[in-house]
Amino acid sequence: MNTPFIYGVAAEQMYFTDRENETKRLLLNFENGLNTIIISPRRWGKTSLVNRVFELMKDHQQIHIVRMDAFSVRTQEDFYRLFATEIIKQTATRTEELLENAKRFLSSLVPVVTMSADPMNPVSFSLKSVNREYGEDVLTLPERIAKEKGIHLIICIDEFQQIGELSDSVTFQKKLRSVWQHQHAVSYCLYGSKRHLLMNMFGKRSYPFYKFGDMLFLERIPIEYWYEYIQSRFIQAGKHIDAPFVDDIYTYVDGNSSYVQQLSWLVWARTDKEVNAEILSEAKQDLLHQNHALFMEQINSLTSYQLHFIRAIMAGKASEINRKEIIEEFELGSSANIATIKKALQKKELIEIEGKNISFSDPIFIHWLRQNTYLFS
Ligand SMILES: Nc1ncnc2c1ncn2[C@@H]1O[C@H](COP(=O)(O)OP(=O)(O)OP(=O)(O)O)[C@@H](O)[C@H]1O
Ligand SMILES: [Mg+2]
């Protein structure tokens, strides 16, 4: 029997729910050659959504989607290498074509093409390193391939915020944009989390990627979809979960797609026939327990000021954090100091800031903090 719930990997097929409007919008953008930027908090379903659209367009004659993940890109050279390798690999239909294209389209980079004799993956292609001077060749690669094949290419780059973290990033972004905006047979879908970084890159007038494309802010999957998704899985196993328990799961994890699946699984696994309050409570404890080591590590890396700040947020003081009384009560130093603390916590991906609203990036973190307040006193 298939596992009823999944988390930690992209959701597909029977594990994929909703995203109907977003799927339509992406399909439309892809068919019309519009660039798209997708932003959402961690684990809400960006990768799953793009993979879904990839599956739907797999057999399209004129449009071909290339996906890559910039997660481990640390330098501009890393990016060029990833970009070139994935485009060559994913646009070739046969091994011979792959080799031929590598030679032809990346002639300036030869002899850095290597073949591997891995029995599981008999022919694989990689580029050792791609010097910056070849950057132009690499960036124009998709347009050259698309034109020759008479197709339109969509290049999807996951974890694109990594580009904003490279050294001399703005100059690099300028270069990417200046080449990409002249391409007619290629469009881009750029997505990732770290909202503040992406908002800087795409939402600020002074940055090269300003107004680069359609901005899609992924919302939570509405609870209506989860009733059907969760309840049917209990029924299939001869179990039952009442709707209010689904509400409880959804609220507890603040609608985070991944945690909805994980907590549902923890409840499902404990249930013989019928979910009750005790089962749900144990499942929540288990979820907190599984995150304990990670959260401890995060807490241990904080300065006293940062801990005080977290205490103030927990006390619901986010909107008045700069008031003199609050600064004194929570020992935050000064207004200037608060700005520094916010930046640091944002960088550590612990908090999200939207205007005056400050929230914890991980919805489980707040529950864990409440249970472990002794760490702050
Ligand atoms: N459409 C969906 N239907 C059901 N579950 C989903 C859906 N999208 C995401 N999930 C759940 O959320 C988890 C994370 O999904 P995914 O990796 O697509 O999110 P992400 O936003 O790309 O995450 P990250 O920020 O880590 O890159 C999945 O493993 C699955 O449990
Ligand atoms: Mg992802």
Asked if 255 and 221 touch (Cβ cutoff 8 Å), the reply is: yes
Hey, whose CA ends up nearest to atom 17 of ligand 1? Answer: 10
Mutate to test the pocket of ligand 1, among 19, 21, 43, 193 (most ligand atoms within 8 A of CB): 43
144 and 227 share one domain? no
- In this prediction, residue 151 carries a pLDDT of 96
Q: Name the percent of the chain lying above pLDDT 90.
A: 78
Domain final residue pick, 167, 193, 217: 217
- Summarised one tens digit per residue, pLDDT across range 245-278 is 999 999 999 999 999 999 999 999 999 999 999 9
83 and 136 share one domain? yes
With cut-offs at 50, 70 and 90, classify the pLDDT of residue 111.
very low
Strand pairing category for 351-354 and 214-217: unpaired
Is residue 135 pLDDT above 70, yes or no?
yes
261 closest CA partner among 21, 77, 9, 60: 9
User: Among the atoms of ligand 1, which is closest to the Cα of residue 15?
Assistant: 4
**Which CATH number covers residue 348?**
1.10.10
177 and 50 share one domain? yes
Cα–Cα separations (whole angstroms), residue 62 to 31, 189, 271, 282, 322:
9, 17, 49, 52, 55
In a domain, 46, yes or no: yes
Please tell me the number of the ligand nearest to residue 67's CA.
2
158 and 91 share one domain? yes
Residue 66 corresponds to which amino acid?
A: V
pTM, rounded to two decimals: 0.92
Domain final residue pick, 164, 190, 217: 217
Mean pLDDT of the chain: 91
103 and 173 share one domain? yes
32 and 156 share one domain? yes
74 and 197 share one domain? yes
Ligand 1 contact, 330 CB (< 6 A): no
How many angstroms is it from 158 CA to the middle of ligand 2? Answer: 7
Hey, whose CA ends up nearest to atom 29 of ligand 1? Answer: 7
Find the mean pLDDT for residues 313-327: 92
- In this prediction, residue 130 carries a pLDDT of 65
Coil vs helix vs strand at 234: helix
**Which CATH number covers residue 213?**
3.40.50.300
| Structural domain containing residue 289 | 223-294
Q: Name the percent of the chain lying above pLDDT 70.
A: 92
Tell me the C-alpha distance between 342 and 349, whole Å: 10
200 and 162 share one domain? yes
Domain final residue pick, 171, 200, 217: 217
> In the numeric block, which tokens belong to residue 112?
């850095």
Is residue 122 pLDDT above 80, yes or no?
no
244 and 308 share one domain? no
- Summarised one tens digit per residue, pLDDT across range 188-231 is 999 998 888 898 899 999 999 999 999 999 999 999 999 999 99
Residues within 5 A (CB) of ion ligand 2:
46-47
Ligand 1 contact, 46 CB (< 6 A): yes
Tell me the C-alpha distance between 302 and 281, whole Å: 30
**Domain count for the chain:** 3
The position carrying tokens 């032809």 is 104
Is residue 113 pLDDT above 60, yes or no?
no
**Cis previous bond, 111, omega within 30:** yes
Residues with Cβ within 8 Å of residue 304, at least 6 apart in sequence: 331
* Helix ranges (DSSP H) in the chain: 20-31, 46-57, 76-91, 95-105, 135-139, 141-149, 161-165, 169-180, 195-203, 223-236, 243-252, 257-270, 277-300, 304-314, 324-329, 335-347, 363-371
- In this prediction, residue 356 carries a pLDDT of 81
Ligand 1 contact, 16 CB (< 6 A): yes
- Summarised one tens digit per residue, pLDDT across range 78-90 is 999 899 989 988 9
Tell me the C-alpha distance between 342 and 361, whole Å: 13
> In the numeric block, which tokens belong to residue 375?
């760490």
Hey, whose CA ends up nearest to atom 31 of ligand 1? Answer: 7
- In this prediction, residue 237 carries a pLDDT of 96
Top-confidence residue, 124 or 356: 356
234 and 197 share one domain? no
